[in-house]
Amino acid sequence: MPESLLQISGLDAYYGKSHVLQDVKLAVNHGELVLVVGRNGMGKTTLLRSILAFPPVKRRGSIVFEGCETSRMTTHRVAALGLGYVPQGRLLFPSLTVEEHLRFAASRSRGQEKAWTLKSVYDLFPELQQRSQVGGGRLSGGEQQMLAVARALVTNPTLLLMDEPSEGLSVQVIQRVKDVCRHLTSSGMAILLVEQNLDMALNLADRAYVFLNGQVVYEESGEEFRADRKRVRA
Amino acid sequence: MFLVKMCILNGFTLAALLFIVASGLTLSFSLMRVVNLSHGAFYLAGGFVGLSVLNASGSWLLAIGVAGIAIAVLALVEERFFLRWARGNDLIETLVSLSIAIIIGDLVLVIWGGYPKTIKIPEMLSGAVEIPILVVYYPVYRLFMLAMALVLGGGLWLFLKKTNLGITIRAGVDNFNMVAALGFNVKRIFTMVFALSGFLAGAAGVVGGTLMMLVVGEDWRILTLTLIVIIIGGLGSLIGTAVGALITGLAYSFATAYIPEFSLFILFLPVAVILSIRPQGLFGKEAA
Ligand SMILES: Nc1ncnc2c1ncn2[C@@H]1O[C@H](COP(=O)(O)OP(=O)(O)OP(=O)(O)O)[C@@H](O)[C@H]1O
Ligand SMILES: [Mg+2]
């Protein structure tokens, strides 16, 4: 099937009256890691929110995921089609323990095989198992990020939306997140990764989109993107 | 000394009633972030429905159950058909719940009339017993209310702590958009919590109507007391609601016994003090 997993075209997004995304066209294929870059305030987070209909974004245009037109669906219906969300700022639940986060999210798990269970995310992040009875508000930044990723994984998504997972993390933890991304794509999951930390994202990307003022200004293959960045640095 | 003892006991039993009423409002308020101003009307209507059921059937327990269910249905209709359209607009949501409160109050007046009524204490719970340490005689029914509030508090705590719906509600209180992003239908959860909150208010109407009189106007008095409880206790905290109910119950009981002309002042004093020290309430979480 040549069809993309996610196919966005003519997407406009708004916060109230302010028009943030303009005519965005973007695609993610099965098992691919697609990178979205752009400076602060260019609309990267808004793109991910638009895909999920996450308030307060309002959107118009076509968003086809797994063959379904989702632009008129509500958040929970889109999510249930197989989208996992690791939001900027993590948005954990302070009243829930680590374990409750995972059980709660796993109760919405889709897919027959259930590749990601509590056990397999604990294997991936042993730190979380040690902190399993701790509240979501009492974790370190790195632990919070692991929990945000784990919470998305146990729903067994086909496409993972990650918004600046390296934000506020040390070099070592960034390396862990990077390994996890590689592990996930090799297991067949697709990832749409928003990242400003190019050291992290550069080697991972199959393709990249560059956002400027709410529009896609470049679309490049991973090789082109890496070559460009080298040139910029030199 | 006798008056002090009585004030303490009455304060505790009023606190028990307030806790039963406020626990439902706390649930819906913390999840949806909108104060349901029809909660007092739910209480009053529940009391009158219970009264009619009791007159027809003679069963006080049946009265509680039917009143709870009737008001749960009323709450469900309010949420599903009125509040849902206004979601996200706090002002409109508040006005909708205010209008519904007024409409329910008027309907109660039309159906049950304007004379104060009380629900007869069931045979089993009538009379008084001596309380050992305090050496006073005290109505059995009031002690029963106290026990009921404790059981309800424990039950709700277990429900929120252990059940899937309880965990979903707690997560929703923290961030319901993120709950939706995990694939949960938050609208349905809102409706269920609202109906549960209505059930508690309706049942509380029967419990309260057996202690105090049922009359139009009582809906607003109960709403005011309930709001004070919630403001003191803080958003999203069951323990806060219990402590808020105790403070409000005791303050009200002592104030009406000793300085009735200042009772409103005494009632709002803890509100002012607590809000100036901890704006989020005693046990409320700081806004995320
Ligand atoms: N909730 C909101 N309400 C109104 N405007 C918003 C809201 N969130 C973002 N914006 C505006 O939309 C634009 C795009 O924001 P967005 O968060 O998508 O940027 P971003 O590319 O993710 O930036 P960053 O790298 O800093 O996270 C910005 O101009 C921002 O001010
Ligand atoms: Mg962003």
Token look-up 């005011």 returns B224
Residue A130 lies in a domain: yes
Chain A residues 92-151 with a CB less than 8 Å from chain B? 93-96, 100, 103-105, 107-108, 110, 151
pLDDT on residue B286: 59
Any idea what DSSP says for residue B88? T
pLDDT on residue A48: 97
Ligand 1 contacts CB of residue A41 (under 6 A): yes
- How many domains, in total, are found in chain A? 1
Average pLDDT, chain A: 91
Residue A168 lies in a domain: yes
Residue nearest to atom 2 of ligand 1 (CA): A15
Nearest residue to A23 via CA among A47, A53, A56: A47
Question: Cα dist. A99→A118, A133, A143, B26, B283 in Å?
Answer: 8, 6, 13, 25, 24
Residue B110 lies in a domain: yes
What is the side-by-side order of every strand in the sheet holding A215-221? A83-86, A159-163, A190-194, A33-37, A207-212, A215-221
Residue A46 lies in a domain: yes
The domain of B59 spans 19-217
- How many domains, in total, are found in chain B? 1
Token look-up 């090799």 returns A186
Per-residue model confidence as pLDDT tens digits over B50-64? 999 999 999 999 999
What token pair was written down for B138? Answer: 């005290």
Residue B70 lies in a domain: yes
Residue A116 lies in a domain: yes
pLDDT on residue A111: 61
Residue B11 lies in a domain: no
Q: How far is B288 from chain A (nearest CA, A)?
A: 10
Average pLDDT, chain B: 92
pLDDT on residue B146: 96
ipTM of the modeled complex: 0.93
Residue B1 lies in a domain: no
pLDDT on residue A172: 86
Q: How far is A28 from chain B (nearest CA, A)?
A: 19
The low-confidence residues of chain B, meaning pLDDT below 70, are: 286-288
Residue B61 lies in a domain: yes
* A50 vs A173: which has the higher pLDDT: A50
Q: How confident is the model at residue A82 (pLDDT cuts 50, 70, 90)?
A: very high
The domain of A116 spans 6-233
The pTM of this model reads: 0.89
Residue B28 lies in a domain: yes
pLDDT on residue A12: 97
Residue nearest to atom 6 of ligand 1 (CA): A15
- Distance (Å, whole) CA B72 – CA B76: 6
Q: Is the dihedral of CA A163, A70, A19, B179 positive or negative?
A: negative
Per-residue model confidence as pLDDT tens digits over A209-218? 999 999 998 8
CB distance A193 to A34 below 8 Å: yes
- Distance (Å, whole) CA A102 – CA B24: 27
Residue B272 lies in a domain: no
Of B184, B285, B288, the CB nearest to A76: B184
Phi, psi of A169 (to 5 degrees): -105, 155
What token pair was written down for B249? Answer: 């119950």
* Residue B92 CB coordination number (10 Å): 15
Ligand 1 contacts CB of residue A44 (under 6 A): yes
- CATH of residue A99's domain is 3.40.50.300
Phi, psi of A209 (to 5 degrees): -120, 135
Residue nearest to atom 5 of ligand 1 (CA): A15
- Distance (Å, whole) CA B101 – CA B218: 12
Per-residue model confidence as pLDDT tens digits over B213-270? 999 999 999 999 999 999 998 877 889 999 999 999 999 999 999 998 988 888 888 8
What token pair was written down for B100? Answer: 């519904």
Of A75, A95, A155, the CB nearest to B177: A75
Say if residue A56 is preceded by a cis peptide, omega within 30 of 0: yes
- Distance (Å, whole) CA B68 – CA B49: 9
Nearest residue to A209 via CA among A50, A60, A28: A28
Per-residue model confidence as pLDDT tens digits over A190-204? 999 999 888 778 888
pLDDT on residue A8: 97
